[in-house]
Amino acid sequence: MRQLPVLFTVLLVFGGQTVHAKTGSIIIDAQMRANALRNCERFDWARAYRDRLIAQVKPYLEMSDEELWRLLPSQEMPRDSGVNQDGAGCPKCGKDHF
């Protein structure tokens, strides 16, 4: 019975997984975001671009979590197994990205 606390400590120290949670944006940093906001205040083209993007994503913002989950394809769907088998490249871009 005296070994139980030791076993618990070993499991806690060596058996636990470390979780690394995302704490912020990785691609767009704070300075880039500030520049974008400032551009929207100063330039018509930036406001128009922002407004177009908001209009494009509005249907998704209005969906519930369940509706968004239903948009994802099944895990049984083949992914990259058939990509570029004939060497032609991307159907849209050709070989530009290869």
Q: State the pLDDT confidence band at 15, using cuts at 50, 70 and 90.
A: low
User: What is the rounded distance in angstroms from the CA atom of residue 70 to the CA atom of residue 84?
Assistant: 28
Name which of 22-31, 35-44, 48-57 the model is least confident about.
Answer: 22-31
Q: Which residue has the higher pLDDT, 83 or 27?
A: 27
Kindly report, residue by residue over 65-85, the tens digit of the pLDDT: 999 999 988 888 766 656 666
Alpha-carbon distance of 48 to 54, in angstroms, equals 10
Mean pLDDT estimate for the chain: 81
Alpha-carbon distance values, 26 to 29, 32, 33, 35, 47 (Å):
7, 11, 12, 16, 24
pTM of the full predicted structure? 0.51
Structure tokens at 63: 């969906």
Alpha carbon 94 to its chain centroid, in Å, reads 26
